[in-house]
Every structure is written in structure tokens, then in C-alpha cells.
Amino acid sequence: MTTELPSTPPAVRRIPSVRTQHGDTVTDEYAWLADRDNPETIAHLEAENAWTDHATAHLVPLQNTIFEEIKRRTQETDLSVPSRKGGFWYYTRTVEGSQYAIHCRVPVRAGETDPPVTDDGAPLTGEQVLLDGNALAEGKDFFALGTFDVSPDGRFLAYSVDFAGDERFTLKVKDLETGEVLPDEVPDTSYGTAWSADAGTLFYLTVDDAWRPHRVWRHTVGEPAAQDVIVYEEPDERFWVSVHLSRSEKFIIIDVHSKMTSEVRVVDAQAPTAEPAVIAERRQGVEYSVEHHGHRFLILHNDGAEDFALAYTSVDNPGDWVELIGHEPGTRLEGVDAFSRHIVVSLRRDGLTGLRVIADGSTDSYDMKFPEPLYSVGLAANPEYDVKTVRISYTSMVTPDSVYDVDLVTQAMTLRKRRPVLGGYDPLEYEQFREWAVADDGTRVPISIVARKGTPRNGTAPLLLYGYGSYESSIDPYFSIARLSLLDRGVVFAIAHIRGGGELGRRWYEDGRLLAKKNTFTDFVACARVLVRNSWTAADRLVARGASAGGLLVGAVANLAPEAFAGIVAQVPFVDPLNTILDPSLPLTVTEWEEWGNPLESADVYAYMKSYSPYENVAALRYPAILAVSSLNDTRVLYHEPTKWIARLREVAPGGSYLLKTEMGAGHGGPSGRYDAWKEEAFVTAWTLDVMGLS
């Protein structure tokens, strides 16, 4: 029996709802779609999915082909490079046909210094399976792991699971010696845990009604959760709380942070019931983080240092900060990791990431060197404190994800693994480039580009332009197996490193948020236009893609410059930002006011957000083809934002091609299993190729 697909897009009831703020009255006919408990809402989402199935039915063979391409290029049975912690090597492996990773360990053999490996991804000799995601997910439509934290003595595993996609996890404890899952179970927890030194106490987080992690709890292993004690509670709704154990395993670190301000507390891991000690009282606009290093705490901060500086203070009596690395405008210090004899600083300069090594007791330092003009590098898993080598991850637009061990003294790099790309992938058959666009105010905006060699530079090649541009998050050059299905069909792929991200330092972020947010959108349009002007592509074969805040980006540029694009892919898109940020009862809203502004209190912020909100500014324009992808259980960008946006596009600008696909059992990240994720990527890629005329 087959289900008959619809021949027209679903109709949407229009129920006027009035919003009045700062003397401005707005009617929202689709506000009712925010009620997910209304059967009519679910019926509408299902009708939209049916219409999308109908409208893309001709692409099913191409979707299947692309899915098989991704699958064929991926080594499905594979093993991560094991990381040493204590007396074990820890790793994950995947098995062909299975959706999720298996978490394992093997004992370190006498005299063993290099991680054990297998060429075929088979289990290592002596393997102990700690957690099998496939077994946990059996019978579930969704599965995500929140925390995975082995106690310092290697005996217990704290882990948490989410079967809905709403990022509310159930915390459990497993005895790795007996294999028993203990009765210690706590519902509605958030990411992050920390063990005491003796593994008898576990610290964890819970969230408030707005999904904000706000409480740190102390749990005694083996005791009922009802006896757990609140260690710290943050009442200010702008602030999030996180908790972790320092690499040295000496301190539990409680980090309290908003978008602009930080405060850190520490608890001696050997005295878990002690009162948390404040490193430095919060001051509005001052951000800092803490890393333990011997007799001192390292402090990465922006106090009088826009791009951050590194200092230290005494462990015994935290107070004044002594400078270790002074502020250097244009070199953004992003993180510090302490090891027994070295410090590694993560930084970015000239739009590229980097790593700087400082020997303990010395001011001498060196920056690691890499051969490619475009790349991304960062520290990988380094759970051990007393080491002379560190593990780093490296990738570029043409180099698959690579893992190196670096000798901190000799600087020698040992390649431990490069992600296999099956089917004869040759990086020399592809090229990466850096272009620059000039924004409306004269700012130069970098663009990273990759294409297969021989792709014409005469304006005939299709191009996919990706962007984000919010929260100081950088979209650095990266490799993608799925992207090869585009490149090998003659598509150019580009990343627009627009303001609002962090690619060029803190100022780059500041110039793309609050009342400067429109720079994010005009930067992206400038990137699109320079790519056309320099003959990389033409507007009728250029597709824009963005997710979450990047969905806001592509939704805004659809209103701003619809003629510049042939298509728009908006995934879990934040396209109704004003209505969301006006409602403090919604998840995450209050914490977002320092990113977007508070339109409840400020008429200027209200007017500014209204002027760029994609939903508020839909007009009778000739829009590019639009595909919106959403998730019903998303707690970060609620499903109704793209649902309302598509409805208004059809109402105000009829005649365009507007599709909505809602995952009915997933969260912000989409489908949780790797094969399901590949199928969604194949769907989006096939739609993109169709808009480009390549289907």
C-alpha cells in the first residue's frame, strides 16, 4: 500500500496574534504554531514533510547515489587513536552497519609508550567495552551521550544519555570492575561532571526551566540521589555554570560565565565537601578562565586586553595576577592547557589557528609550524598531566582529519593517524585558495575556497557558500568526506569568515553583534558578490548554506539580496529572533541578551532586531529557492521559527519554491546516528545540486 503524496503545499490557518512593544504593534498570524501540544501543529508539520517528499521525489535516486558515495568513502569499521590515562589506553571504535561509537579501553603493557593500533579497525587485544552506544540506543529513535567521565582511579564511569534530543540527560554511574550499572541515577542533568580525587564523590549539573545549567550538585557514589547536596547555585539568569576536573586532578573547577563576564570557583579534589573558593570576583565585561599548573593557577583573561592575555596567581592565596604573556593586538589567545613541564596556548592570528609552547620556568616559547596556507589545528585528547608529548588535531580543506603526537622539547611531530578516505582519494587533485571581499564599510573579509583541479574559473561553476558569524565562533578550514560529492561534480565550496565570528580576533566578533549585527549579513553578501565578480561562479548557480545562527544569516541575506543567490539552505535556523528574544520564558533567551541586545528594555535594540529579522521582513520579492530543515525537539532554536517563516514566505511571496523538512524525533544537531546523518546530508546535497542545475 502506498501513501498518496500531496500536489500542493499545505495550507496554514491564519490566527491573528498581536504584539505591542515600544509603541510598535505587529500582527503575527502564525504564532499559534509555537504550541507543539496542539494536534493541529503536529499535523501541519507532517503535512509539510509530505509536501517536501513530493517536491523532492525526483531527487531520490540522486540522494541514494550520494548516500552510497559517502558510505563508500568512509571506513565504517574504524578505531580512534588511543589516549593514555593512568594504566589504560582509551579509544572509540565504529563497526560497519552500526550507527554509534563503542567506547573501550585496554591496559597499558609494560614499557609501552606508543598507542596500540590496528589497520582494519578491529578490537585491540585485551579490550574492555565501557559503553556501547548501539546497545544503549536499541529501540530508540534518538540517542546522544552527554558526559563520559572515567574516575581518576579508573574504576567508575559517569555517563549520561538523552533519548529525545532535548539535551536533558539522565546521569548514571557504572562500576568498570564489575560491569554493574549502579542505582545512582539522576534525571534532567546537563553536560559536565567532575570526580573527587578518591572517586567517592561526583559533581554534576542540572538546568532550570529555561534549559540554563545553574546548579552544581555533589553526589556520593552508592547513595540515593535524594541525598545530593547543592554546591553552587547561580541566580543571575544571564550566567551559565559548568564543572570539570583539572588535568592535574587536583581541583574541581566551577566556571560561571555569561557572554561577557566570568567568575571561577575551585574545590580541592581531595576535600570535596569544602566550600568553593572564588579566584576573582566577577566584574562586568571581564572574562577569564582558570587552569591549574603546579603552585599556580594560570589565568587567561581580557582585563585591559581585548584579544586576551595570560597571567598567573598563587594556588595557596589567589590574588594579584602576574603577567606571563602580554596582550598582543591581532593575536587572539583562546585557551591554555597546562602540563607538568610545559604550557600550550591555543591562539589565532591572521585568520588561522595556532599553538604556542612555553617551557615551565621559562619565558622562551615557540609556535608550531604547518606547511599549508589554509589549515585548522588544535589540541586533541590529552588527559595526562605528566607528559613530554601532546596530541594535536590537524586538517585543511584538502587534508583529512589528522592526529599527531608532538614532542614538546624537540618539536618533532609523529603522525598517528589520518582519517582514511576510501576509493583512491588524492589531495593533489584538489586546490584550496584564500580570497578577500571588501565590505560596505571597507573592511576586508576572508574567504576560504576549495575546488577540484580543473574546475573552470569563467563563471560557469556552481558554488556553495557557507557562513555562520555569531558568538565569536569561527568556521575554520576543514575537510569533509560528504563535500567530495559536490567537488567531484564541479561545485566550488567556500566559507565566508564574516564578522560576528572570531576568525580575526575579538574585534571581529564585537563588530558583528548587538547593534553592529548587520555587518554579518552585508559581509556575506559582499563575499557572494566578489566570488561572482572574480569568476568563481554566477548568481544563478550560487547557493548559500547556514545552520542555527547561520540560518539567521542566510535568512537575512535572502531578504537583503535575493538576486545574489539561486538557493538557500537554512538548517535549524534562528529566523524569528525578535519574537524569541522578547520572551524571557523561552529556553536560553535571557542568556542571549548580551549577544543580541534586550529588546524588552531598549527601543533601539527592538527596532534594530526588527529591521533584520528574516520573519519580520519577508516581502513581495522574487526569492531564491529555500530549503529549511528543523527538529521538533530542538531546545536551542525552536521548531516553530522555520515553520512560521516558510508559511509567511508562501503567503507574502507566492510563486517561489519553499520547502520545510522537520525531524520529528531529533534535536538541534539533527539525526543522531551516523547513517541517518549521512542520509540527511545526501538529501540536502541532492537539493543543492538540483538548484544548481546539476541533478
pLDDT one-digit tens code per residue, 297-345: 999 999 999 999 999 999 999 999 999 999 999 999 999 999 999 999 9
Cα–Cα separations (whole angstroms), residue 61 to 331, 515, 686: 48, 46, 9
* E strands in 236-295: 240-245, 251-257, 262-268, 277-278, 288-293
The three three-digit cell numbers of residue 503, written as one number: 576568525
Q: For the chain, what is the mean pLDDT?
A: 96
The secondary structure of 614-667, three-state, reads CCCCCCCCCCCEEEEEEECCCCCCCCHHHHHHHHHHHHHCCCCCEEEEEECCCE
How far is it, in rounded angstroms, from Cα 502 to Cα 302? 15
Asked if 579 and 496 touch (Cβ cutoff 8 Å), the reply is no
pLDDT per position as a tens digit, 589-604: 999 999 999 999 999 9
Read off the pLDDT of each residue in 542-563 and give the average, rounded to a whole number. Answer: 98
Cell 498518496 belongs to 4
The three three-digit cell numbers of residue 689, written as one number: 545540486
Asked if 511 and 499 touch (Cβ cutoff 8 Å), the reply is yes
Read off the pLDDT of each residue in 386-403 and give the average, rounded to a whole number. Answer: 97
Q: Dmax over Cα atoms in the chain, in whole Å?
A: 75
Read off the pLDDT of each residue in 46-71 and give the average, rounded to a whole number. Answer: 97
Read off the pLDDT of each residue in 649-667 and give the average, rounded to a whole number. Answer: 94
How far is it, in rounded angstroms, from Cα 597 to Cα 488? 43
65 three-state secondary structure: helix
> Residue 623's pLDDT is what?
98
> Residue 363's pLDDT is what?
76
Asked if 376 and 396 touch (Cβ cutoff 8 Å), the reply is yes
Asked if 643 and 662 touch (Cβ cutoff 8 Å), the reply is yes
> Residue 1's pLDDT is what?
35
pLDDT for residue 571 is more than 90: yes
pLDDT per position as a tens digit, 64-103: 999 999 999 999 999 999 999 999 999 999 999 999 999 9
| Element spanning 105, H or E | strand 102-107
The one-letter code for the residue type at 140 is K
How far is it, in rounded angstroms, from Cα 82 to Cα 384? 12
Q: Which long-range contacts (CB under 8 A, 24 or more apart) does 6-14 make?
A: 6/47, 6/50, 6/51, 6/54, 7/54, 8/51, 9/48, 9/51, 9/650, 9/658, 10/44, 10/47, 10/48, 10/50, 10/51, 12/44, 12/647, 12/650, 12/651, 13/40, 14/651
How far is it, in rounded angstroms, from Cα 467 to Cα 503? 12
Other residues' Cβ atoms within 10 Å of the Cβ of residue 54: 16
SS3 content of the chain, % helix, strand, coil (to 5): 20, 35, 45
- Burial profile 127-157: b = 16 or more Cβ within 10 angstroms, e = fewer: beebbbbbeebeeebbbbbbbebbbbebebb
How far is it, in rounded angstroms, from Cα 158 to Cα 218? 13
Other residues' Cβ atoms within 10 Å of the Cβ of residue 237: 16
> Residue 25's pLDDT is what?
97
Asked if 173 and 202 touch (Cβ cutoff 8 Å), the reply is yes
Read off the pLDDT of each residue in 480-501 and give the average, rounded to a whole number. Answer: 98
The three three-digit cell numbers of residue 413, written as one number: 611531530
> Residue 635's pLDDT is what?
85
Q: How many CA atoms lie within 13 A of 562 on its CB side?
A: 15
Q: List the catalytic residues.
A: 548, 634, 668
Sketch the domain layout of the chain as residue ranges: 52-72+429-576+613-691
Output the pTM of the full model. Answer: 0.95
Which CATH superfamily, name and number, covers 52-72+429-576+613-691?
Alpha/Beta hydrolase fold, catalytic domain (3.40.50.1820)
How far is it, in rounded angstroms, from Cα 56 to Cα 52? 6
Asked if 54 and 5 touch (Cβ cutoff 8 Å), the reply is yes
> Residue 5's pLDDT is what?
61
pLDDT for residue 2 is more than 50: no
**Banded pLDDT at 576 (limits 50, 70, 90):** very high
> Residue 658's pLDDT is what?
98
How far is it, in rounded angstroms, from Cα 206 to Cα 191? 9
- Backbone φ and ψ of 57, nearest 5°: -60, -35
pLDDT per position as a tens digit, 605-616: 999 999 999 999
pLDDT for residue 3 is more than 70: no
**R_g of the chain, CA atoms, integer Å:** 25
**Banded pLDDT at 4 (limits 50, 70, 90):** low
pLDDT for residue 536 is more than 50: yes
Residue 166 CB partners (closer than 8 Å, separation 6+): 633, 635, 667
Query: Who wins on pLDDT, 85 or 210?
Result: 85
